[in-house]
Chains A and B, each alone.
Chain A
Amino acid sequence: MKYAIETFGLSKQYGDFTAVDALNMKIKEKSIFGFLGPNGAGKTTTIKMLTCLIQPTNGTARVAGYDVKENPNEVRKIGMVPQLVSLYGDLTVRENVELCADYYGMPRDLKKERIVELMELVDIKYAENKMVKQLSGGQKQKVSVVASLVHQPDILFLDEPTIGLDPSTKRVLWDLIYDLNEKGHTIVLCSHDMYEVELLCDKVGIINQGKLAAFNTPQSLKDSLIKKYTSNGPFKDSSNLELEVDEGEVENKQMSIMVTNLNRDLIKEIEDLPSVCGLKEHSSGRIIMDMDDDSSCAVNDVIETVLKNQGNITSIATRDPSLEDVFMKVTGKDPGE
């Protein structure tokens, strides 16, 4: 199996503070990898080391087959959309992108063609002759993406690319990420947006206090929180580097059931079930309840109780663990905290 990125004990020290602590991970080629972690956990520092913007203190990494310490200029052929837009404010959109293309040594004809294609793709061509300093945050981010993709990199790093963007601009970027991945590009997405990561990423790594705390597919990470309820355990990837989340409580594990002929006796009986911790709401025939995490048959108990009392179930829903639950479990913090 080919890996686009491999890290070997990658570390970064700032004085006494260890920003990244002996990071070992492998990211497959042509995948979309989501890199999560609380603020200050070491995400951006890791990205900067992988893109050769800063030097590792210890360890090393291979990006696109090149060692970040030995062949930094080869590594720099990747694309990078930084957290802070780094464009020349006094140059126009087109001039900025052309300058980037020139830095990568692109042939003139290919450059022109590619710039038009990308600007149309992210819908910024209409502003190509505007000074960058006159653009909105979202427009600047689009230009930054175009500037980072102009040289057709195999690997693209995006450090919180959709932060502060409106939903439609986010969609444009998400579509672009999908398209690029389908064309065979490897994407590393650093984000606090759990929905975005869950939507786009094949695999997720969660870094906490400089250490890799979880590494697997989003579904596997979520499943690992409830794996004791499954007969076979969560899906396992062939990579032996995967780090699963310890099974444990999923906060607010809930079940919602709608019964057309709901009455007080049935509510009381459900409330008294040992697998139900408490009713949160009951109105218009719907009961929302917190479930006991230790019980593997809590849902069955509720359904059986309703049916025993001639209850007529019209809908039933349970809330599975989300990536946010995984994040909170691993880091002890809310996303973005």
Chain B
Amino acid sequence: METKKIMWMLKKDLMVLWRHKPRLMSLLLFPIIMITLFGYGMGGSLENIPVVLVEQSEGPITDQSVEAIHNMSLYDVKAVMDDPDKAREMVEKGEAKAAIVLPPDYEDLQTTSQKDVVLYVDSSDQMASQAIIPATQGLFNQISSELGIKRMEMMGTASNGIGVNSTPVNPNQAPRLSTSLQNVFYSINFQIDKLYGDIDYIDFLVPAVLAMTVMFSCMFGMGESIAGERERGELARLFMTPTSVSTVVGGKIISKLIIETGRALILIIAAILLFGIVIKGGMGLTLFLLVLSALCFVGFGIMISARVGTQEDYMQMVMPFTMPMMFVSGVFYPLETMPWIFQQVAYLVPLTYANNALRSVMLKGAGIGDIWLEVLVLVGFTALFFALGVTKFNRDI
């Protein structure tokens, strides 16, 4: 080993790094961003899942139950109301992940009928629903036991037990969802209503993975397409001809978009064939969303590559955007489970809107009317990126 030569090589690399400020900034910031996201955003358990609570009676048992729900860090009670339909609507609109509906006879210990506690859960968010269902079930099991003890004290007999009878609303799901706990007198009948049926983690993951794949391929691809061509001098040949920046950018967009549309189709077909994914909404709308997402990320790539001179600089500049975007946009975990600050950041990045829209269409069967806001935001981001990309594009060779 020639130690001196190795030292010289090291010195050269450090000098190059020092002189390429985007690379240096990325080197310093990227690990900090990533460790912060992992540490604060992803490292903990699921917490603060937004739920709504429906109280249809008043009294100590209701108060005790509501207090118990409030005390659990899993829930973030967004609203307490008395209308079960409105609560269900909030879940359907995505304003809450679940609605816990306490029955009108919740306070009545004398009645012999079952108390039907209903849980409406947004099953399209597989992670959230998987956490909410057993936790809520466990909570009401405990409440039911306490009620049973009270009941026994009132009746002066030990022969009566109180438990939770958990049954799904949908009879087709009975074998999997029903957990009969105790078949006893005065039980709470805990009903689970999965609004979008049974959804596996892979179903939850696929729409976001589609959007994420489109994001990575578009953004990394634009590095090769513009910064790479600029670095190799190929872009110079184009700029020697009577060709405007907007034409160059337009050409890059169209060619990238066609490639990405092909990739999106392959992704969807692969997801259907390999994982049996069912797209509940329209196939056309799904494809439209993927193409719109591709357009948006191509715009992002053009914006970054507008002024950088080398592909290496471009890659170092997009990394601090792409990787954190992947983690904060709810690809793997629901947004609501992240710290407040990351949730705010999530709504500043386009991937969040692409994920939400694709999940709504693919898992909930949403139409364009349900996702117009996400579409509008994606269009807005796209227009902004292109405007900045074209106006800031460095034509100087």
Residues of A participating in the B interface, judged by any CB pair closer than 8 Å: 48, 51, 53-55, 73-74, 76-77, 80, 82, 84-89, 100, 103-104, 147-148
Contact = CB atoms under 8 A, between A and B. Distances in A.
A80 B240 contact: yes
Interface of B: 232-244, 395-397
A103 B243 contact: yes
Contact of B244 (A54, A73, A89, A100): A73
B232 A54 contact: no
A86 B233 contact: yes
A86 B239 CA distance: 11
B397 A104 contact: no
B242 A87 contact: no
A86 B236 contact: yes
Contacts, number: 51
Contact of B241 (A84, A85, A88, A103): A103
Contacts of A147: 237
B234 A48 contact: no
A168 B19 CA distance: 42
Given A53-B397, A54-B396, A54-B397, A82 B242 contact: no
A84 B240 CA distance: 13
Given A76-B242, A104-B242, A88 B236 contact: no
A73 B237 contact: no
Contact of A53 (B240, B242, B243): B240
A143 to B, nearest CB: 11
A47 B236 CA distance: 13
Which has the most chain A C-beta neighbours within 10 Å: B233, B234, B241? B241
A131 B234 CA distance: 15
Given A53-B395, A76-B242, 19 more contacts: A48-B396, A51-B240, A53-B397, A73-B242, A73-B244, A76-B241, A76-B243, A80-B240, A82-B233, A82-B236, A86-B236, A86-B237, A87-B234, A88-B234, A100-B241, A103-B238, A103-B241, A103-B243, A104-B242
Contacts of B240: 51, 53, 76, 80, 82, 86, 148
B234 A86 contact: yes
A55 B237 contact: no
Contacts of A89: 232
A283 B82 CA distance: 121
B237 A100 contact: yes
B233 A74 contact: no
Contacts of B395: 53
A55 B396 contact: yes
A249 to B, nearest CB: 41
Nearest to B236: A86
A175 B163 CA distance: 101
Nearest to B239: A53
A89 B396 CA distance: 22
B396 A85 contact: no
A319 to B, nearest CB: 42
Nearest to A53: B397
Of all A-B residue pairs in the complex, the 9 with the closest CB atoms, nearest first, are: A86-B233, A103-B241, A73-B242, A86-B237, A76-B242, A86-B236, A54-B396, A53-B397, A80-B240
Contacts of B235: 86
A148 B241 CA distance: 9
Contacts of B237: 82, 86-88, 100, 147
